[in-house]
């Protein structure tokens, strides 16, 4: 087997990793690809031609608490004899590196570090000792990798600075497949919103979509619209029911049940229809950790592909992209008043709104996976076919 993807979560839920596998399959064929994932029971299955090895392991606690399972999984990976191992995060990279110990140099697989966020700034509770260990391991292992992949330019530059890397990590953003937006379909889904939520055609519809969880700025969105006439909010996605119930209570307490609505999560292939049926997409995140502050979320690119103007928080990547392409407005991440002003600006300034919509039609052709994957294809071609 030539290529193995190692991830400490279920493969099916990880769109970025599935895209990576598709790039590799185009180069060497599905039969030469495999995935190691964590699940409820040990089994061997197949998805789209790739072999999936599932192991029932749990990784919790501090660095030392994880080591026994790290070694057990590493031995399973070693038996697969991969030539290239792509690793989902620093824990996966550590396990992959352990699996190569004491192998002859010619038999050692290439390691690829595919970091899905800013590892040193993750939204997790780490002791100072654990943070020190993670930083030392990332510094050591990123230099053992044939190349590393980061999700945006800000993170790539920061990682390069921190570890004094000679080569900048490859940047592969979480952009979406290009969508041929059908305005008739958008109109149908817009009318569905009218009927389902008793929204008037003249109302301005603002949408938050994605994970419904703490730290995503949803409370700020709800606060922002409480004094706005003719503005409705649709919160589309999934999350823990106890947190969603808290949002229900907030909406009731603020007497916004005719303004703020909740919609269940939809299939990714259908998402553009719902996002495109709204007038503005909110990319709101709270600045609770550096990983969030440096992020450029999937929902940003999903709004782009739906041609929906964006109101985004003033974090480095989000602000830079909005202003570079002139596709929306930027607001303070913690200010309902600032968000309220941005919503009104989009709603009332018809000329500006039209400029954003027109720009999005062009930008969607540039910020699409069909173009973004070229960088990944070239990187893997060098080690898989070189």
pLDDT digits (tens, 9 = 90+) for 152-164: 999 999 999 999 9
Query: Tokens at residue 340, please?
Result: 């309220």
Are 225 and 320 part of one and the same domain? yes
Are 194 and 264 part of one and the same domain? yes
Residue 108 has a pLDDT of 95
Are 245 and 358 part of one and the same domain? yes
Are 187 and 142 part of one and the same domain? no
- Its domain, for residue 48, covers 3-175+369-384
Q: Provide the domain count of the chain.
A: 2
Are 55 and 169 part of one and the same domain? yes
Are 303 and 380 part of one and the same domain? no
Contact 62, 128 (CB under 8 A): no
Assign residue 223 the CATH number of its domain.
3.40.50.2000
Are 217 and 88 part of one and the same domain? no
Question: pLDDT digits over 36-53, tens only?
Answer: 999 889 999 999 999 999
Contacts of 381 (CB under 8 A, 6+ apart): 27
Residue 69 has a pLDDT of 84
Q: Region 374-385: what's the mean pLDDT?
A: 96
Are 21 and 45 part of one and the same domain? yes
The Cα-based distances of 76 to 24, 70, 73, 179 in angstroms read 22, 10, 5, 40
Select the more confidently predicted residue: 327 or 15.
327
What does the DSSP 8-state code read for residue 13? G
Q: How many CA atoms lie within 13 A of 250 on its CB side?
A: 18
Are 209 and 266 part of one and the same domain? yes
Residue pointed to by tokens 């596709």:
327
Are 12 and 65 part of one and the same domain? yes
Q: What is the dihedral of CA 72, 73, 79, 83, to 10 degrees?
A: -140
Query: Tokens at residue 220, please?
Result: 């700020």
Q: Is the pLDDT of residue 184 over 70?
A: yes
| Of 68-72, 93-97, 189-193, 235-239, minimum mean pLDDT range | 68-72
Residue 59 has a pLDDT of 67
3-state helix, strand, coil in the chain (%, to 5): 50, 20, 30
Query: Tokens at residue 323, please?
Result: 């202003």
| Helix or strand (DSSP H, E) at 28 | helix 15-28
Question: pLDDT digits over 313-353, tens only?
Answer: 999 999 999 999 999 999 998 899 999 999 999 999 999 99
Residue 13 has a pLDDT of 81
Model confidence, pTM: 0.93
> Which of 16, 129, 140, 146 has the alpha carbon at shortest distance from 90?
140
């Amino acid at each position: 087997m030539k290529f193995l993807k190692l991830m400490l979560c279920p493969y099916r839920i990880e769109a970025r990793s599935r895209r990576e596998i598709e790039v590799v399959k185009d180069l060497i064929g599905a039969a030469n690809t495999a995935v190691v994932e964590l699940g409820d029971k040990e089994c061997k299955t197949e998805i789209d031609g790739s072999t999936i090895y599932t192991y029932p392991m749990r990784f919790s606690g501090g660095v030392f608490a994880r080591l026994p399972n790290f070694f057990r999984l590493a031995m399973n990976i070693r038996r697969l004899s991969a030539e290239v191992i792509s690793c989902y995060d620093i824990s996966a990279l550590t396990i992959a590196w352990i699996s190569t110990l004491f192998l002859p140099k010619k038999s050692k697989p290439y390691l690829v570090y595919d970091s899905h966020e800013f590892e040193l700034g993750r939204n997790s509770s780490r002791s100072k000792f654990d943070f020190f260990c993670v930083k030392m391991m990332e510094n050591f292992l990123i230099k053992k990798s044939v190349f590393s992949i980061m999700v945006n330019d800000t993170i790539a530059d920061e990682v390069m600075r921190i570890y004094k890397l000679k080569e900048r990590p490859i940047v592969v953003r979480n952009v979406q497949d290009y969508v041929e937006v059908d305005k008739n379909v958008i109109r149908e889904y817009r009318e569905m919103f009218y009927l389902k939520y008793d929204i008037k055609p003249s109302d301005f519809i603002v949408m938050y979509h994605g994970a419904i969880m703490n730290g995503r700025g949803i409370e700020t969105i709800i606060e922002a619209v409480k004094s706005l006439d003719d503005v409705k909010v649709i919160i589309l996605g999934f999350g823990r029911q106890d947190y969603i119930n808290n949002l229900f209570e907030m909406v009731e307490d603020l007497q916004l049940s005719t303004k703020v609505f909740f919609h269940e999560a939809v299939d990714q292939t259908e998402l553009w229809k719902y996002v495109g049926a709204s007038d503005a997409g909110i990319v709101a995140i709270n600045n609770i950790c550096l990983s969030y502050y440096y992020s450029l979320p999937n929902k940003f690119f999903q709004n782009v592909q739906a041609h929906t103007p964006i109101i985004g928080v003033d974090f480095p990547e989000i602000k830079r992209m909005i202003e570079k392409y002139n596709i929306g407005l930027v607001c303070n991440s913690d200010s309902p008043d600032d968000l309220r002003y941005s919503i009104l600006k989009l709603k009332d300034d018809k000329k500006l709104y039209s400029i954003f919509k027109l720009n999005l039609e062009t930008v969607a052709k540039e910020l699409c996976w069909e173009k973004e994957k070229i960088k990944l294809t070239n990187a893997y071609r060098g080690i898989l076919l070189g």
